[in-house]
Amino acid sequence: MTNSEIFELLDRFECSSVMTMKVCVGGDTLELSRTGVAIPSAPAAAAPANAPAPATEEGPVICAPLVGTFYAAAAPDQPPLVKSGDRVSKGRTVCLIEAMKMMSEVTAPCDCVIEEVLAKNGELLAFGAPIFRYREA
């Protein structure tokens, strides 16, 4: 995780009503918590954006480490970085997320096979939104 990603997470945590947060990216873990009275969260209509993947999708998922736009390829005229059925090694870039005009790489957490792509190219992702379902290889 880069310093700018950590600072962005801190800013978003401070402005949210979330009381605790744990983010694991690669070998890095960031845990934040606060004490005090919880502030009411966003309206229920916003809940589906942060909802976990449906129960029919079993297995571990790679989640969005930040809020931003999902890009499956490095450029519009290039093929996706990964697709269903691809075997990837730990640390390989599987997609890009654009936030605040900056591109961030999302990498595979382990040697794995991408089972399913859960996000659509160009889709706005919430923090923690599932992007890929995978199985360890």
Q: Indicate whether 83 belongs to any domain.
A: yes
Please check whether residues 100 and 71 belong to one and the same domain. yes
Q: Indicate whether 50 belongs to any domain.
A: no
Please check whether residues 64 and 101 belong to one and the same domain. yes
**Each residue's pLDDT tens digit, 10-42:** 777 777 677 787 888 777 777 877 765 444 444
Q: Indicate whether 49 belongs to any domain.
A: no
Q: What is the CATH number of the domain that holds 91?
A: 2.40.50.100
**Each residue's pLDDT tens digit, 50-64:** 333 343 457 899 999
Distance CA 95, CA 104 (A): 9
Q: Indicate whether 51 belongs to any domain.
A: no
Question: Sign of the CA dihedral 114, 117, 119, 122?
Answer: positive
**Which range marks the domain in which residue 61 is found?**
57-137
Q: How many domains does the chain have?
A: 2
Please check whether residues 79 and 118 belong to one and the same domain. yes
